[in-house]
Amino acid sequence: MIEAYTHHALTPMKQAFDDSRWLRQTRDKRSIGIRKPSLYPAELRELAATYFSLRTAASQSDCPQGRRVLPTRVIWLRVLLVIGFPFMTGCGTVSYYAQAARGQAELIWKRQRIEAVLADSGQSETLKARLRLVNALRQFADEELDLPPGDSYTHYVALDRPMALWVVNAAPEFSLELKSWWYPFVGRFEGRGFFNKEQAEDLADKLRKQGYDVVVSGAPAYSTLGWFADPVLSTFVNFNDADLAELIFHELTHQRLYISGDTAFNESFATATAQVATLRWLGASGDGGARDEYAASVKRLSRITRKLCATREKLGVLYSQPLENAAMMRKLKASAFRNLRAELEIFQNETGFSGAKKRPRIPMNNATLGSVAVYYKHVPAFRKLFENCNHRFPDYFKAVGRLGELPRGERQRALKELRLAAP
């Protein structure tokens, strides 16, 4: 499983407008029967071939500079081959893991060490300047944010596509709860990531035919949660300074602390941490104008999310009613989304935030609102917790770790109390 990063943590909303790793493994309380694996020769051979090609590359001493694969890094594929298959009872599941392995293998094989890129006279000075900034952000994360980067962002990969992957989110017609999928070692996650857009759209079409509200979002980056050294990708290296910093700090936060099976906790934690970390970095850089501009963008984003969450609460009340007249419920649902779009348009006109006019229209539906909840539900709570820790990152991470150790119900109550205490 891979944790996707959508720009400003939520591509639909951005488009509608402008080991210090702690991994808690939880057990699914439901009984999972271990079935005899269903073997699909073509997909299995493809996955196995990927694994053995990587293992061979790892053992070769004459690999091109920057492309040598550490033997320990192929353990993920080994896990899929040896352990994962007992749980893969459908052809679609096998194919999904095969494409995931293929996509990750591409990044491993194509990567170049940043030092090699910087020393290459054939590379553009613009790219080199962005990579030097990445090095500075890594150093700042380690020394000032208590976010040790390890080997992450020490390599660069040029991709031939606009996004690293595409994420499918889905919710039932009259529910705001996102559909989730189970992944080995990560638990349940409310999204399905694909390295190929067509495959993502194929799944989206199937889910729509089943009656789901669906949104497909492009993600410029993702985290492997420490299984691999995540590289700098061409899909985000040219972000402006603040957005690049936010992305890197977001992903490093996932490596710092991650709780299996609680996506809203993980993403809200990473989003909040990345925001305060970016403000800290911009302040340390001495560019007060850039810091003020970023702070203003965070406030605008917060206002947008409040509007989206308000609509989500209204729809939650509507969906909780007995479904006696589906046509009437559908009509009220459509009206709520029309009102939301009108509010967002007014906000755009008031703020002069016209970037949305150049972006494709993103569907406003249950899946979109569900994504908002995943990435932003607990952001005010974590911002408040950071404030309670006197803006000290080590104390803050300890406090978040204590939250993570709580049973899920207690953790939710604690986050709600923090959220209510937030300004």
Predicted confidence at residue 5, as pLDDT, reads: 55
Q: Going by C-beta distance under 8 Å and a sequence separation of 6 or more, which residues neighbour residue 66?
A: 111, 112, 113, 116, 117, 155
Predicted confidence at residue 51, as pLDDT, reads: 47
Q: Which two tokens stand for residue 145?
A: 């944010």
Predicted confidence at residue 43, as pLDDT, reads: 43
Predicted confidence at residue 263, as pLDDT, reads: 86
Torsion angle of alpha carbons 5, 10, 12, 18, nearest 10°?
-110
For tokens 């096998």, the residue is 94
Predicted confidence at residue 120, as pLDDT, reads: 96
Say how many C-beta atoms besides its own lie within 10 A of residue 138's C-beta.
Answer: 21
Q: Over the stretch 378-395, which tens digit does the pLDDT of each residue have?
A: 999 999 999 999 999 999
Say how many C-beta atoms besides its own lie within 10 A of residue 49's C-beta.
Answer: 14
Helical ranges in 23-90 per DSSP H: 41-59, 75-79
Predicted confidence at residue 360, as pLDDT, reads: 44
Say how many C-beta atoms besides its own lie within 10 A of residue 148's C-beta.
Answer: 16
How many H helices and E strands in the chain? Answer: 15, 12
Q: Over the stretch 214-229, which tens digit does the pLDDT of each residue have?
A: 999 999 998 887 778 8
Query: Within the chain, which residues score under 70 in pLDDT?
Result: 1-92, 185-186, 351-362
Q: DSSP of 344-413, one letter per residue? A: HHHHHHHHT-GGGGGSPPPP-SHHHHHHHHHHHTTHHHHHHHHHHTTT-HHHHHHHHHHHHHS-HHHHHH
- CA gap 199, 274 in Å, rounded: 30
Predicted confidence at residue 92, as pLDDT, reads: 56
**Kind plus residue range of the DSSP H or E element containing 141:** helix 125-144
Q: Report the candidate in 206, 210, 167 with the shortest Cα–Cα distance to residue 370.
A: 167
Predicted confidence at residue 285, as pLDDT, reads: 87
Predicted confidence at residue 235, as pLDDT, reads: 96
Predicted confidence at residue 286, as pLDDT, reads: 81
